[in-house]
Amino acid sequence: MPSDAAIGAPAAEGDGPAELLRDIVQAAIQAEPLREIAARAVDPETGRGIPHTTLPKIAKGEGYRRGEPWLLRALAAGLNIDRARIQLAASREWTELDVATLKTNKPGTTVVVAYAEGTSPSDLPVLQERLKELGLGDLRILPAEGRDAGS
């Protein structure tokens, strides 16, 4: 990894604080009744819903089913927020890493990103957007085993 890469570093001055999932959920449950949010918080792919009792746990950063894609999709639906924003906020909170803080302009840079098994590059729009902003949009995303997962 290049020495100038800053993964998980504080946001650059003027960038503002990194948005965390618990903060998004806390703001939502202060603005709207829990049951109304929970009624909308249904994963469009699986039909699984988030119980209204789970929302305060998420807002407090307490134990719940972290990292499950259905949960993030359901939160996005329940909060009427873009799924990519929810995913990025969850990633920041759960891993304490922020892809937006990666700074590099060196050729041959390797970027290591953790993502769920079975995920394809098209499932990672925030990552692809950040890589393009860094001038690294032509990188191929490979699984850990080194097999090509697409570009």
pLDDT by residue for the chain (151 residues), tens digit each?
A: 222 233 233 333 334 456 889 999 999 999 999 999 999 999 999 999 999 999 999 999 886 666 688 999 999 999 999 988 898 888 888 776 665 555 556 666 666 666 666 777 677 777 777 777 767 666 766 655 544 444 4
Q: Give me the helices (H) in 1-151, please.
A: 21-31, 34-40, 54-60, 69-79, 83-95, 125-133
Cα distance between residue 95 and residue 109, in whole Å: 21
Query: In whole angstroms, what is the distance from residue 76 CA to residue 80 CA?
Result: 6
- In the chain the domains, ranked by start, together with CATH numbers, are 1-12+101-151 (no CATH), 21-95 (1.10.260)
Decide: residue 72, CB within 10 A, 0-12 exposed, 13-18 middle, 19+ buried.
Answer: buried
